[in-house]
Amino acid sequence: MTRRTVRHRKSKRFQAPSISALLPGTLSQARSGKKRPRSNARKRKKPDVWSKIVARWGFSHYVALLLALMGLVGLFLLFTDTRFTIETPTVLGNSYVDTAEVIRYADVERANIFLVHDDEIVRRLSLLPQVKEARVRLGLPNRLVIEVSERQPSLNYVRTGETFWVDEEGHLFPANEFRVDLPVLLDDDGTASPDGKHIDAALSQAVLFLAATMPEIAEFYYRSDYGLYFISPEKWRVYLGDAENMEGKLRKWEQIRRQLLQERRAVEIVDLRFDNVYVTYKR
């Protein structure tokens, strides 16, 4: 092979384009000195979250975890141990409402004492019409005391043959008996208590005032068209209307009564509902 031929081959070899020149971006990477990452290189596996937590935890963290687990176990034992289960609550202060009824409304039998809320018990007991106030005391391991303050009857309220007691605020509650020492309000048409739970407090106070002022009158009546009225010892029907200005109406009654007794006429109705007094005589 001649020297010319070898020189010619070397010149062709250096004139041929390189692979780097044919691939875009290769030359710039070569100039910058950065190597292109291999596509088949294995990626480093990142540690999972649990591994990071375990790696970072120290002795104090393990102690805290142990204490938390012990606390959960302790709570489980407190909520399941029968020693903290309420058997039968103690009820104090009840005279008119039965003890079993109070316990039934409290709804705490067989309940864990740590799961009992005294505010909720008081709310349930307030649904009893005889109960005015209620207080709850809790004590370990399973003691629950319910103390009730009952409504006090001030008059008998009779409607459709059924007797209720009424306190001074006008609240109705079941009567254990008919109290002969209390005044009576007879509801002729059932309108004195539209909801069956209350009567107007002014009406109950008016009845109490009349009973105290006229002890000879034990029964008072009510109906929607006449309001409050009573039957006098002379068998006269005396209409009083609403519960307003009872003192003034009684003064009128005393004056007109003396006058009618002097006249000795057969009176049927004395109407005191208006400014002027109206008298109806028997025919």
Range(s) of the chain covered by CATH 3.10.20.310: 83-150
Give the helix ranges, DSSP H, for the chain.
3-15, 19-22, 26-32, 49-56, 59-80, 99-106, 118-125, 201-213, 246-263
Partners of 138 in beta bridges: 144
* Contact in structure between 121 and 134 (CB atoms under 8 Å): yes
* CATH 3.40.50 domain residues, the chain: 155-281
Neighbours of 211 (CB within 10 A): 21
Per-residue pLDDT of the chain (283 residues; tens, 9 = 90+): 445 554 555 455 545 455 444 445 544 444 555 555 555 445 555 556 656 655 666 656 555 665 666 556 555 555 555 777 888 899 999 999 999 999 999 999 888 888 888 999 999 999 999 999 999 999 888 899 999 999 999 999 999 889 999 998 999 999 999 999 999 999 999 999 999 999 999 999 999 999 999 999 999 999 999 999 999 999 999 999 999 999 999 999 999 999 999 999 899 999 999 999 999 999 8
CA atoms within 13 A on the CB side of 89: 29
Q: Give the architecture-level CATH label for domain 83-150.
A: Roll (3.10)
Tokens 């303050």 found at: 149
CATH architecture of 155-281: 3-Layer(aba) Sandwich (3.40)
